[in-house]
Structure 1
Amino acid sequence: MSLDVDLRHRFPGLDLSVSFRAGPGVTALFGPSGAGKSSVVNAIAGLLRPGGGRIALEETVLFDAERGVHVPASQRRIGYVFQDGRLFPHMTVAANIGYGARFAKGGLDRDEMRRVVDLLGLEALLHRRPNTLSGGEKQRVALARAWLSRPRLLLMDEPLAALDEPRKDEIFPYLERLRDVAQVPIVYVSHNLAEVARLADDLVVLQRGQVVLSGSAEAVLSDPKALPLVGVREAGAILPARVAEHGADGLSRLTLSGGELLLPGVTAPEGSTIRLRVLAQDVLISRAAPEGLSSHNVLPVDVVALHRGMGPGVAVQLRAGRDVFLARITQRAATELGLQPGMTCFAILNATAIPRGSIGGSAGLSPRKNAGVDISD
């Protein structure tokens, strides 16, 4: 199943012109507030009729301006999870979940409902009403309701934006589980790069209604052109890694295509695949193999490219094995090191602190859909 989007719409102060394709897995729409992200998903859902373009879900045309096609939202078989959950307050959790099945072909499948309840950890909540639930619990119920409608596509518009950090920590493993078992495209809207890095397979970056970068999340986030779009403090890359072993000292040995890392706080089982979000500001560069360091995380790398901005910083694109990531250093340091594309050097990764909620579960992960760990201060 794939979604093809090519739409144009004019708002006061914003000309929206967006094209992208989303396959199975999570395609994240990322950008600042006002970039047009929610307008895009509303157009996909049928809640907004664009001024021009075409939207198709596999062979089904949902919207075509030239042909005058605009399938009503109720007939699109699309699950939509909003920022606030939008549960029915007079219904129990079980009734809210069951309501979604009213829109599924064939009605409620109780076996499927039990599987979804188990997947999202809702068994203990079934007889409660929404006003007794936490924010994270409400969103899990909203996910179950959307999924039991047997959608051909899932839309999630900033589903974690209204949650505090503990509630985000609570719901992230369930989002990852849903991502890993769903066989339909998921379009996920966010302006939080940590969420995107943890969940997304593909990334579409919007700015002022236009697509400015798109591709796999790994490729986009390791592109120096992404720095001014995501902010220098958030800039980084995603590296897939395998959990080789958990040490008795609390450090886990991870294998990458270009070497090994030792990292604290990894709970994924040995043999599983995770993904590391490495921030550019947490990578140092050395021309020679460093000695006498407290960090054991040193990778031999090749310099791919240098991207000099208007300020004093330089984004250095590095390759270790098959993986590409970024280091952000000063222009003075780049000059003193004599960095040039093609040069071999060493990257030192800071893995002394992992922010809350940055470690994801790894159950049921495929090589392309991995869990998340965030290496940062």
Structure 2
Amino acid sequence: MLEVSLKHRFAGFDLDAQFRAPPGVTVLFGRSGSGKTTIINAVAGLLSPDQGRIAAGDWVLLDTKSGLQLRPHRRRIGYIFQEGRLFPHLSVRQNLGYGAWFAPKDAPREDMGRIVDLLGLGALLDRRPGALSGGEKQRVAIGRALLSAPKLILADEPLAALDEARKAEILPYLERLRDEVNIPILYVSHAASEVARLASSVVAIEAGRVVAQGPAAEVLGDPAILPAGAREAGALITARVVRHHDDGLSELEANGIALFLPRLANAPGTQLRLRIAAHDVILSRNRPEGLSALNILPGLVQDIRAGAGPGAIVAIDTAAGRVLARVTRRSALALGLAPGVGVHAIVKSVSVAPADVGGAAAS
């Protein structure tokens, strides 16, 4: 468990953040300028904060009270930047070997063959970076970081420079990394879909402060916490693939609730996590009939949070999990919505985008 406590003052901006990061992917989630990159640069040793402590048990990277501050190259950290930053004159195999060359001799080392398999790099080993796509370069950069035997991985929006096709290519590898590598990963993002698919835990940051931290489903499902704004609000539920139908739909089951999505490639029995965007949810007091929408989730209103404008975010607890709905305050009033009121959350099958469907984190 990595523990981070930082205070630092810039001109016009104060950082005051404390959080914990367990093994798995802890996403620092918030708008641009909220302080996310400042935090991981302090963890990496690229920024000397005014006050702080960064430690995991006896492994102390920074303690300003005692004057301890390890230099960046002694911190045993793998840093994945927005761009791969590979050596252009070296092959993929040699770039990976460069990471292994920096691993301490007495440190437990990752097997290169396992990392190559984990990240799907086997067919790329003899290529140079100039012959790789953006997603392939990022996979090599991740492999190089893992082979340096790090105690911690930092990823600063590693998908930000990629187009949607390359993001879709690399996200499954990042999910495998979350599930199969037993070290903390601090991952910076302001993209709600990325957070929902990858995060084991979420640290929500606004204006240099931590406003919430905890399991991904818990933080993303809280209508009072919208670090990326109301437009990006959406809850996270876990479901199991049941069967694929001949009409092009896949049927899933979430704690007894049937859900239908456009056909998925995942085999029956696969556990998935789904992000349901709040703006794609319609609410009805009574179970609707004669609708084209297939996904109807009965539940109870848990909370309502009115925004500064005409909108409100409604949190509904269903058997499938927490769902958020973005409605107008006028609609909330007309429906008589209040905590404890029964409603039905309606979600069109085609509204759940492929980017919002990912592998469930290992339990």
The two structures share one fold, judged by TM-score above 0.5: yes
Return the offset for 1:322.
6.2
Aligned to 1:61: 60
Which of 338, 346, 350 is equivalent to 1:348? Answer: 346
Aligned to 2:5: 6
| Structure 1 residue runs of 4 or more that deviate by more than 3 Å after TM superposition | 105-111, 353-362
Can you list the C-alpha shifts for 1:97-124, whole angstroms capped at 9, x where unaligned? 0111122233899981011111111111
Q: How does 1:205-284 map to 2 (within 5 A)?
A: 205-227=204-226, 229-257=227-255, 259-284=257-282
Aligned to 1:375: none
Aligned to 1:314: 312
Can you list the C-alpha shifts for 1:48-70, whole angstroms capped at 9, x where unaligned? 11110110023211100000000
> 2-side partners of 1:84 and 1:232: how far apart?
29
Q: How does 1:10-89 map to 2 (within 5 A)?
A: 10-89=9-88
Return the offset for 1:361.
4.8
Can you list the C-alpha shifts for 1:312-347, whole angstroms capped at 9, x where unaligned? 112111001262121111122112211121112211
Can you list the C-alpha shifts for 1:211-254, whole angstroms capped at 9, x where unaligned? 12222221111111124x32222111001111111222221111
Return the offset for 1:137.
0.9
More displaced 10-residue stretch of structure 1: 212-221 or 277-286: 212-221
> 1-side partners of 2:215 and 2:107: how far apart?
36
Identical amino acids, percent of aligned pairs: 53
Tell me the secondary structure at the aligned position of residue 175 of structure 1: helix
Aligned to 1:152: 151
Amino acid at match of 2:39: V
Contact 1:101/1:108 (CA < 8 Å) preserved in 2? Answer: no
Confirm whether residue 285 of structure 1 aligns to residue 283 of structure 2: yes
Tell me the secondary structure at the aligned position of residue 167 of structure 2: helix
Contact 1:237/1:326 (CA < 8 Å) preserved in 2? Answer: yes
Aligned residues: 363
Contact 1:266/1:359 (CA < 8 Å) preserved in 2? Answer: no
Amino acid at match of 1:225: A
Name the TM-score, length of structure 2 as normaliser.
Answer: 0.95
Structure 1 pair 338–258 and aligned structure 2 pair: CA distance change class (3 A)? farther
Aligned to 1:366: 362
RMSD: 1.8
Return the offset for 1:155.
0.6
> 2-side partners of 1:277 and 1:359: how far apart?
7
More displaced 10-residue stretch of structure 1: 108-117 or 14-23: 108-117
Structure 1 pair 316–354 and aligned structure 2 pair: CA distance change class (3 A)? closer
Tell me the secondary structure at the aligned position of residue 224 of structure 1: coil
Confirm whether residue 304 of structure 1 aligns to residue 302 of structure 2: yes
> 1-side partners of 2:208 and 2:128: how far apart?
39
Contact 2:84/2:141 (CA < 8 Å) preserved in 1? Answer: yes
Amino acid at match of 2:349: A
Contact 2:235/2:324 (CA < 8 Å) preserved in 1? Answer: yes
> 2-side partners of 1:49 and 1:110: how far apart?
29
Return the offset for 1:85.
1.4
Tell me the secondary structure at the aligned position of residue 349 of structure 2: coil
Structure 2, unmatched stretches of 5+, are: none
Aligned to 1:98: 97
Structure 1 pair 108–170 and aligned structure 2 pair: CA distance change class (3 A)? farther
Structure 1 pair 131–268 and aligned structure 2 pair: CA distance change class (3 A)? same
Return the offset for 1:286.
1.2
Contact 2:84/2:137 (CA < 8 Å) preserved in 1? Answer: yes
Structure 1, unmatched stretches of 5+, are: 368-377
Can you list the C-alpha shifts for 1:245-289, whole angstroms capped at 9, x where unaligned? 122222111111261111113222111110110011111111111
Tell me the secondary structure at the aligned position of residue 42 of structure 1: helix
Amino acid at match of 1:255: E
> 2-side partners of 1:147 and 1:111: how far apart?
7
Contact 1:16/1:209 (CA < 8 Å) preserved in 2? Answer: yes
> 2-side partners of 1:219 and 1:360: how far apart?
17
Contact 2:280/2:348 (CA < 8 Å) preserved in 1? Answer: yes
Amino acid at match of 2:327: I
Contact 1:301/1:319 (CA < 8 Å) preserved in 2? Answer: yes
Return the offset for 1:34.
1.7
Return the offset for 1:136.
0.9
More displaced 10-residue stretch of structure 1: 21-30 or 103-112: 103-112
More displaced 10-residue stretch of structure 1: 189-198 or 254-263: 254-263
Contact 1:102/1:108 (CA < 8 Å) preserved in 2? Answer: no
Aligned to 2:337: 339
Can you list the C-alpha shifts for 1:160-212, whole angstroms capped at 9, x where unaligned? 11111111111111111111101011100012121111111111122221112
> 2-side partners of 1:53 and 1:69: how far apart?
10
Name the TM-score, length of structure 1 as normaliser.
Answer: 0.92
